[in-house]
Chains A and B, each alone.
Chain A
């Protein structure tokens, strides 16, 4: 058996059926070894048009299915192209396994053709990276890689296999029964005292808020969050990626808080007397000023898998370490034992008041252009409840943050930690491969879409019928609005010209393409794209003067939120 065959067999033993990648000299032996598996349908290879997109697709697959996505690249430019996708998965805790082909062992370090020091460039952007030294290591390290990627805080793992190891022969293969790596997944600690303290804090709170993060999605703990929220009558806010944990139509869910989050969610979090973060790190995107939060003197409580997250900016008064689902069930047991419910009538009234007040700003009137909130409302009406929506990065992402209503867990994916433009289309493709029965949309902007838009060719070739809805404003809108609002209108280096025509661009790949003129068009084109079940691009023209609101001044506090367009005479500050 060749090393490359052993590699493929080891992947199959981990349940791998889909690989996103691009072959080259150094991973070619592996391709040769899954030739029959592709022919008989046991495995599927999706030939991407850029390795960054391969990593994003594996990431999208992982987020949609909950199991690691697999990508592959050759050494040199293949590996370095993967890096942006890997760091994106790392920041958002997504389990990706990257198999890279390395140069022959004898050539290493000699500036040989396409040698890029895979370990050197992978270490800082992955949970782990390993370069195999011997053919016998293959099965053990493939097993280890999947274990490390998917346990604890999930993340990307790189396994670099030199070409000559793939070409070697081996007899008497021994497949491992267990992992063997110096690594421990984080513990779940059932601390009775902490659980009781947390329960009492929640019951005694006058203004409790639950802050939900992505940890809830990975732990499949949405049901427990809703049980807790209902038990206490407690409003729920989320981080931006935590949106994927909460159905938007759950009545006590206010929405995502933070830099571009909903003002009512951020204000409720600020005004709360107990803030209970579950599966959420207190990131600088959610709490834009730790001093502002600490100054409120509220009680902070946290359930988090990663103990180091208790030491970043906010030190919780009650810190519970472990899996969100397990610990929430324990907490619910304690609350039931205590036998009383929260009394938050006045707080509920206040939260409703905040919602009512801020809703006037979130639905601005028509101004002759298509408005993002109405675009997203139209999309929502046109697609099934369990539709998956990914985004690129930019203004459209912020519009989706506040206005897109994802109605089921694991149905909203965005590059939130890294903010990687170009994430939308390939991650949607990965999600569609993982969940072929669901409608998968990439809600994108023209700047972001064009960074990986060439992968439309793959969507067409491989029949991955995603629908990209591209907000076309011919500018890097989020940068533009900062220049406009906070840099004395010195708009520089952001406006694009007319090239390319997005519709013709999409058509050139063989995708269906539509040009929207009004909301009715948008609705009908989406319905048609779903029915046709082929890769489609729907271009939606958006005014480049449109702002992503709410926002904050650079470095601003949540209380400095700007909810309406200050260029139109409003003072901008939206405090109730």
Chain B
């Protein structure tokens, strides 16, 4: 049984609850999400790519995909059989950091993660 699958999901974006419901769908089946990429356009069409992993070998991946496909706001779920993933990379020069509700002064962490 294949324990890892990459899927493309097209859904209608109304609010971030879309992502919440997609994630919750897999959580309920004990299917892990190894990574996710989400992009939404100005017409509320969202494309989500997810890598699903059956960590506990329960065989629920296919059923979880079918179940997601019948959720309100989901247009389709596509299982991608042949794919090549490049690492997500975001280049930036400036940022602010918050921890436990507080802003952390730049001097405390500056330079550690900057790319």
Contact = CB atoms under 8 A, between A and B. Distances in A.
B66 to A, nearest CB: 5
Given A307-B66, A311-B62, A182 B20 contact: no
A123 B66 CA distance: 18
A181 interface: yes
A182 B12 contact: yes
A111 to B, nearest CB: 13
B73 A123 contact: no
* Interface of A: prevailing SS: mixed
Given A307-B66, A311-B66, A128 B72 contact: yes
B63 A308 contact: yes
A459 B24 CA distance: 38
A133 to B, nearest CB: 8
A56 interface: no
Interface residues of B, number: 18
B5 to A, nearest CB: 15
Interface in B61-78: 62-63, 66-67, 70, 72-75
A127 interface: yes
B17 A181 contact: no
Contact of B67 (A119, A181, A183, A308): A308
B17 to A, nearest CB: 5
Contacts of A119: 15, 17
A183 B11 CA distance: 10
B17 A123 contact: yes
Contacts of A311: 62-63, 66
Q: Contact size class for A?
A: 20 to 34
A183 B62 CA distance: 21
A420 to B, nearest CB: 19
Contacts of B66: 307-308, 311
B14 interface: yes
A116 to B, nearest CB: 15
A130 B21 CA distance: 12
Interface in B1-44: 11-12, 14-15, 17, 20-21, 24, 28
Nearest to B73: A182
Contacts of B17: 119-120, 123, 129
A123 B20 contact: yes
Contacts of B63: 308, 311-312
Contacts of B72: 127-128, 148, 181-183
B101 to A, nearest CB: 13
Q: Which 3 A-B pairs have the closest CB atoms?
A: A182-B12, A128-B72, A183-B72
Given A120-B17, A123-B20, A182-B11, 19 more contacts: A119-B15, A123-B17, A124-B24, A124-B28, A128-B72, A128-B73, A130-B14, A133-B15, A182-B72, A182-B74, A182-B75, A183-B72, A183-B73, A306-B70, A308-B63, A308-B66, A311-B62, A311-B66, A312-B63
16 contacts: A119-B15, A123-B20, A123-B24, A124-B24, A129-B17, A130-B14, A131-B15, A182-B12, A186-B70, A306-B70, A307-B70, A308-B66, A308-B70, A311-B63, A311-B66, A312-B63
